[in-house]
A and B are shown apart, each in its own frame.
Chain A
Amino acid sequence: MKIAFALLIIFFLAFSGYHLTFRNIRLPLFARQFYLTGSEFLFLGLLLGPLFLNLLDLETQKYLDPLRALLLGWIGLLFGSQFEVSKLRRFPRVYFSSAVLEGILVLIIVSLAAYFMILPFSHTSSTIGVVMALTLGATAACTSHGGLALVGKDSGSQFGKLFTLLRYLSGIDGILPLLVFGFSSSLLTASFSSFSLISVLTKGFLMILGSSLGLVIILVLFLSERRRENELALIVFGATLLASGMAFMVKMSPLLINFIIGTSIVNLSREKERIYEVLIAMEKPAYLLILVFLGAIWRFDSAWIFVLAAVYCLVRLLAKLFAGFLITVSSTDMTQYPYHLGLGLLHQGGLPLAMLLEFQQGFPPPMSSWIVSLVLIAVLYNDILGPLFVRRLLKKNRA
């Protein structure tokens, strides 16, 4: 009964919430930013979790794991569906290489910093430490459109190319971090006592390839004829569940497998626009549900977590600035952009949260608790301050 009740509550929150939140209501500056990003749902999750109401206790969360798997798959598919080659080609090629470069640089810098500066506090083995560091790096590298949407919703055109570039970078820069995170999660669930890195990665790669291929074939066959809207929803819903389930069963990342499937389908199927419509219809509720689930596992065991979060945010800011600077000097086409481009890439958004949820699912508390708490604080900070930096950057470089 408690499970059903919890399910009802969180569904109610998500589906009523997404109509109420993300709206420009007159509130003090920081409160408005907080409200517009839906961050209040993290606190609702915290309230429903074991620390307060205990409605979403660990047992209930375990029962709701298939829902979490579905959410992860949904986000993965949605992210993958952005990689439509014909659409990406409309932009200069240097944009793509810049996005990849930016993502990988931030991933490396933050992962290294995490491994040497933050992880010594966690008292974990070196292998687990590597996975944790990569998770922190991957979550730091991702950027969301959210910050730009908040600033330039009605006036994006007045900021010209810079706005377009920032939009592009924040849509694409998560690709390599996601791949790295996806493979690292296979290390996470492997038997640490007797594994060889190469064999685990090779096996993981083959598993991902095999299962993704099977699912892509199924989807392409299903979508080879025009389906009604409810049939399409059933197919997408079923395929996401199937892919996420497969990923969990072979100890792989559901985000990664669904990302591969999303990318394949968007480039292979004639129904891509309609599929995207199905996916996007659930985007906001899915995001809010992820926030609720993460809020429920949020812990404040030590005040040190705030210090660590501050260090993480600082390292991320520096990494973004460095990566942005490197982009602008790496190509003559990019010199027209401001060197402090990284300031516009701080908003973290949904993908890192999904990564965090997946990390927590494969690596249950208490070991994952502090990473989750640290990143959540950082996400809150970046989601609130990110749009301010974006606004500042755009105003200084108005077209």
Chain B
Amino acid sequence: MANSLLVLVVMTMLGLWFSSIRIESVWQQTGLTTFSLGFTLLLAYASAQVVSVVRLPLISGCIFAGIIAGPFITGFLGQGMVERLRLVDDLALSFIALGAGGHLHLQDLRSRGRAIALNIGLLTVVVFGAVFGFIVLTAQNFLFLRVLTWTQIIAFASLIAVIAVARSPSSAIAIISECRATGLFTETVLGVTVAMDVIIIILFSLVMTCIKTMLPANGTGDFLTLIAIFLETMTSLGVGLVLGKGISLYIRKVGHDLPLFLLFFAFGIAKGSLWLDHFMETQFGVSLHLEPLLVCMSAGFVVQNLSGEGLSFMNSLERISLPIYVLFFSLAGASLDLVALKMTWPFAASLVLVRSTAIFGATWTAGALNRDPPRINRIAWMAYVTQAGVAIGLAQLAERHFPDIGVYLTTVVLAVIAINQVVGPITFKMVLNMVGESRYPKTSA
């Protein structure tokens, strides 16, 4: 702890010294990018060590470090630098998705199938309904919503409500890995979070289609889009299945440098799917968008459940996950839009409260219907608060389609995520400790 604090002091001094240097050449610009990468890694790691003393999760330390180093507080990591380091995101997300798939055990999923289905159904309906209802009923109380027409408010409420259903698989995986959590509760949360990632895309497309019918100035709805999304989802899962078999073959036949191979694989999927999308569009006029997260999740699931190589696969992921998590979450922290939060904090705070209450209601009901222990039903909501990348992506997509309401939408979503991404990991780690499924002694309660 004392050493980590000293590291933070020395790093702050180095950071101050180096941020005063004028960048005049390409040589120095390279240095700045490289320095920022190293600085972010070490600063976030040291912060994670400091916050671990008060039993906060590693990713909270990284997020705090990112917020402090980011463009809105010290500005050490400027907006441009955060954008430049975005390359890490694609790699990290695919890598985390591999882990998500690997964490799913078919046997446990079968035994918890009813609980997972109940949670998914209720979380979707209750959270959507509560957030939608809240916005429609209170719209006149918030200044920025008064300028919108009723139709626009309904469209706005639908989009925010659907985005509120989204969770953050990356945060969930990172915390589960950190706590080395295993058990029925962990398995259920993971199953729900991962499945939600697929469902949210379909749900969002459905809502977009309805809104296009409501707001004809923004184009017309097309149910073929839904079929296309369904097909793309199935194709992604299928490709993941084949690649998962490929990974298990590699482990069995080659075996060496597995962590590096998986890193290479994750990056290849992230970039390869983009390339394929572009290639199909330009060469054949066909839009075939493979979802890299689904491909990687499916591949991880196959290696874990349909081959005998699950253990070495997960061990290898574990060996290189730390730098990836640290970098990814500190950049996520640096990307949190504090200006948006400042502008809309009363509305955002209310939304967070409504969403959390709705999550509580949904998980409590699901638990009760599944006859889970009441003690767990009361605290299960804490595992579903986190929100991150997917929600931002959806908001940005909506902004492009509905520019009239899109600016407000993105601002509010960014503000809500800023709160949920700080609070969510903390509550998630707490609940894992409370249900007794956290296995990491250093951090367990």
Contact = CB atoms under 8 A, between A and B. Distances in A.
Interface of A: 1, 4-5, 7-8, 11-12, 15, 19, 62, 65-66, 69-70, 189, 210-211, 214-215, 217-218, 221-222, 224-225, 229-231, 233-235, 237-251, 361-362, 364
Contact of B6 (A215, A221, A243): A221
A66 to B, nearest CB: 4
A253 to B, nearest CB: 11
A1 B278 contact: yes
Given A241-B34, A249-B18, A225 B3 contact: yes
A359 to B, nearest CB: 12
B34 A222 contact: no
Given A242-B35, A249-B18, 5 more contacts: A8-B271, A221-B4, A241-B41, A244-B35, A249-B21
B3 A248 contact: no
Interface residues of B, number: 49
A245 B34 CA distance: 5
Given A5-B275, A237-B41, A251 B30 contact: no
B34 A66 contact: yes
A380 B256 CA distance: 29
B75 interface: no
A4 B4 CA distance: 35
Contacts, number: 146
Contacts of B46: 222
Given A8-B271, A242-B38, A69 B260 contact: no
A66 B13 CA distance: 23
19 contacts: A1-B271, A5-B271, A8-B264, A62-B26, A65-B33, A69-B31, A218-B7, A222-B42, A230-B318, A230-B323, A231-B322, A242-B41, A244-B31, A244-B35, A247-B31, A248-B30, A249-B35, A250-B31, A362-B27
B279 to A, nearest CB: 10
Contact of B13 (A4, A214, A222): A214
B321 A230 contact: yes
B339 interface: no
Contact of A8 (B14, B25, B39, B268): B268
A231 B320 CA distance: 9
B274 A66 contact: no
Nearest to A225: B3
B42 A15 contact: no
Contacts of B322: 230-231, 233-234
Nearest to B90: A4
Nearest to B257: A15
Contact of A222 (B3, B38, B39, B271): B3
B31 A221 contact: no
Contact of A249 (B13, B28, B319): B28
B37 interface: yes
Contacts of B280: none
Contacts of A214: 10, 13-14
A364 B18 CA distance: 24
Interface string B249-282: 0000000110011001001100100110010000
A48 B299 CA distance: 31
B32 interface: yes
A242 B417 CA distance: 30
B40 to A, nearest CB: 8
Interface string B300-332: 000000000000000000111111001000000
A248 B323 contact: no
Contacts of B7: 218, 221-222
Contacts of B204: none
B27 A189 contact: yes
B41 A238 contact: yes
Contacts of B261: 15
B21 A245 contact: no
B11 to A, nearest CB: 6
B27 A251 contact: yes
Interface in B78-109: 87
B45 interface: yes
Contact of B39 (A4, A221, A242): A242
A240 B34 CA distance: 9
B320 to A, nearest CB: 7
A230 B320 contact: yes
A322 to B, nearest CB: 36
Contact of A221 (B10, B320, B326): B10
Contacts of A361: 27, 30
